[in-house]
Amino acid sequence: MTATVETSAPPGTVTSATGTAPAAVRLSGVGKTFAGGAPVLDGIDLTVAPGEFVCLLGASGCGKSTLLNLVADLDAPSSGTVEVPSGRAALMFQESALFPWLTAGENIDLALRLRGLSRRRDRQAETERLLDLVRLRGAYDKRPHQLSGGMRQRVALARALAQDTPVLLMDEPFAALDAITRDVLHEELIRLWEATGLAVLFVTHNVREAVRLGQRVVLLSSRPGRVAQQWEVDIPQPRRIEDKAVADLSVEITDHLRKEISRHGR
């Protein structure tokens, strides 16, 4: 499981994963340039092992969201290859992006239906199970606007789980939430991750959040986005964002992040 994880080596010595190890997501030499612009991503080598929780960290302009779009097959790389052996990856955004014309339950039901679950009874039962899993039993008939931001993200999480993919991509999913709700959702996410064995690729600009959640934190440089450094996070779950170990590693990573950012000021 940890075969693909680089140790916290000194800067510039990042080695890519061996090609034979099993992977939930594998990016090899991925570059992305939008028409007429400077490259957004350049030479990204990144492997997420099955069941692994990887946090992707970087300042603005590091192409984090572009990278997720590539993995989610919403966009194609300009160079290199993106492999998702399972074929599909579920995706969550900062906004819940629940469809406002459907109830919470119907949003989940639609994902099940598009996944190919054709029998209504099966879908009904599965929707109930998923709502239960994110502890929103009884929210089936609620419209998205009737739910709080944290509840909407939990429904969105349930919808992502409904896709039944072994890979979950998360694009700053908790960035718009208040600190208390975010803290609770961190715990909820780790609980669900441990229960489901999903591989998670979690994009954030919040260093503490990355260390609180990830087994591995990958720091991207900006313009173009490259893998600058990686850290393995040995702190056992359950962690808390207030833990000293979390704080210490966060300081170390933040220093690197600052160095990356200040390169652009010169």
Partner 1 sequence: MAADTTDTAAGAATGGDTLAHIEAGLDALETSTEPESGRLRQVAASVLPPIVVLALIVAVWQLLYAAKIWPDWKLPGPSEVFSSLKDTFSGGDAWGAVGHSIGHGAVGFGASVALGTPLGILVGRYKAVRSGLGPILSGLQSLPSVAWVPPALMFFGPTPAMLYTVVLLGAVPSIAVGVMSGLDQVPPIYLRVGHNIGARGLASVRHVLLPAALPGYLAGLRQGWAFAWRSLLASEIIVQSASLGHSLGFLLKNSQDANDMSGAFAAIVLILAVGVAVNQLLFAPLERRVLKARGLA
State the nearest-atom distance from the C-beta of 13 to partner 1, in Å.
23
Q: Please state, in angstroms and rounded to a whole number, the distance separating the CA atoms of residues 219 and 56.
A: 6
CA 232 to chain centre: 16
State the nearest-atom distance from the C-beta of 245 to partner 1, in Å.
13
Q: Is position 174 an interface residue for partner 1 (rule: CB under 8 A)? A: no
Of 223 and 240, nearer to partner 1 (C-beta) is 240
Residue that the structure tokens 């929780």 belong to:
53
Q: In what order do the strands lie in the sheet with 39-48?
A: 39-48, 25-33, 79-83
**Applying CB under 8 A, which part among 8-16, 29-37, 40-48, 195-203 lies near partner 1?**
195-203
**Binding residue count for partner 1, defined by CB under 8 A:** 53
Among 47, 215, 230, 250, binds partner 1 (CB under 8 A): 215
Of 159 and 226, nearer to partner 1 (C-beta) is 159
Helices and strands (H, E) in the chain, number of each type? 7, 9
Q: Is position 194 an interface residue for partner 1 (rule: CB under 8 A)? A: yes
Contact 31, 79 (CB under 8 A): yes
Per DSSP, the three-state class of 34 is coil
Q: Is position 46 an interface residue for partner 1 (rule: CB under 8 A)? A: no
Q: Omega into 11 within 30° of 0, i.e. cis?
A: no
* DSSP state, residue 8: -
Residues near partner 1, by CB under 8 A: 1-2, 51-53, 72, 74, 88, 90-91, 93, 95, 97, 99-102, 110-111, 114-115, 135-136, 143-151, 159, 162-163, 180-181, 184, 187-188, 190-191, 193-197, 215, 236-240
